[in-house]
Amino acid sequence: MNIGFSTGFLRPDSLETVVKICRESGISRVELWEHDGFFAGSVDPLAIRQRFDDEEIVVNSVHAPFPEGALLPPSEKERYLLSFKKACSKGKAYGASYVVFHPAVIEGERYSGPEKLHSIDRTLLLWKETAKIAGSFGLKTAFENLPRCSAWPEGLTPVQISDLLRSGSIDNSGICLDISHAFALNISDHIYEILPELDLLGVHVSDGIKDNRKDRHLPPGEGDLDWERFMKIVTGHHASISLIIEVNSPYLDGVLLGKVARFLSGKR
């Protein structure tokens, strides 16, 4: 099993900052945050790839940009798809295997259950287009479960994503399980039972507090997830996936990330 970290919580997220943190933490796998910051800018991805190759750092995945609240106005669709395509193009240059996608909803549509799937026709078409674009660059699209937001007032669970991908015949895709988002919806106790059946491409690893309903992204071990149980299931059913550390802490640095990586390795 691979352990990496997301650059999404690093500010400033410069290339040399990432290299320094990889050295300090002993982690040589990263997910590059393409939503904003350094890696979303017009920096030569081949130069970044060369720098990472020199340091023996692997780019596991890229996190695509996303509209605020995951709600996409129809007039912004083509512009968004261009930004998604750019992230995928860079992902290919980096050698990534998948792109993480916050499942956006076309403004004016709202999911109200499988019996009314037609109510999100344009949204499912958007999802299919993203998966097709990613596939053209040799990447899969990892749909991430979300907390409550404008597009998903009740949140979006991994099981709902699985059902929607299947119903919409969206190929070349899977799920990026975000543990903190599961805590925000107070469904953390259900993670263990659904894990074996999920088509996982990766996991955003963090912790949370039961019944708190907050998206805290705590370092693993500082919350209520049963990590021994979680790791046993993941190792048994998803041994080839990557665990991408995505934590929010005032002490986020190479030392903390290294500590988290050792904690996870010790729970296998």
Whole-angstrom CA distances from 267 to 76, 219, 260 are 44, 14, 11
**Confidence band (pLDDT; 50, 70, 90) for 249?**
confident
Q: State residue 258's pLDDT score.
A: 96
pLDDT single digits (tens) 155-165: 999 999 999 99
Number of C-beta neighbours around residue 67 at 10 A: 19
Does the pLDDT of residue 12 top 80, yes or no? Answer: no
pLDDT at res. 113: 83
**What is the per-residue DSSP string for 68-130?**
GGGEE-GGGHHHHHHHHHHHHHHHHHHT-SEEEE---EETT-----GGGGGGGHHHHHHHHHH
Rg (CA), the chain: 18
The hierarchical CATH code for the domain 2-265 is 3.20.20.150
Mean pLDDT confidence for 147-170? 96
Question: How much is the average pLDDT of 221-237?
Answer: 96
Please tell me the least confidently modeled range out of 36-40, 72-76, 201-205, 225-229: 36-40
Helix, coil or strand: residue 200:
strand
Asked if the model's pLDDT at residue 117 lies above 90, the reply is: no
**Would you call 61 helix, strand, or coil by DSSP?**
strand
| pLDDT surpasses 80 at 149 | yes
pLDDT at 42: 82
Which pLDDT belongs to residue 252?
Answer: 87
pLDDT category of residue 1 using cuts at 50, 70 and 90: confident
The residue ranges of every structural domain in the chain are: 2-265
Q: What is the rounded distance in angstroms from the CA atom of residue 119 to the CA atom of residue 132?
A: 22
Q: Return the pLDDT at 103.
A: 98
Question: Residues 102-134, buried b or exposed e (16+ Cβ, 10 A)?
Answer: bbbbbbebebeeeeeeeebeebbebbbbbbebb
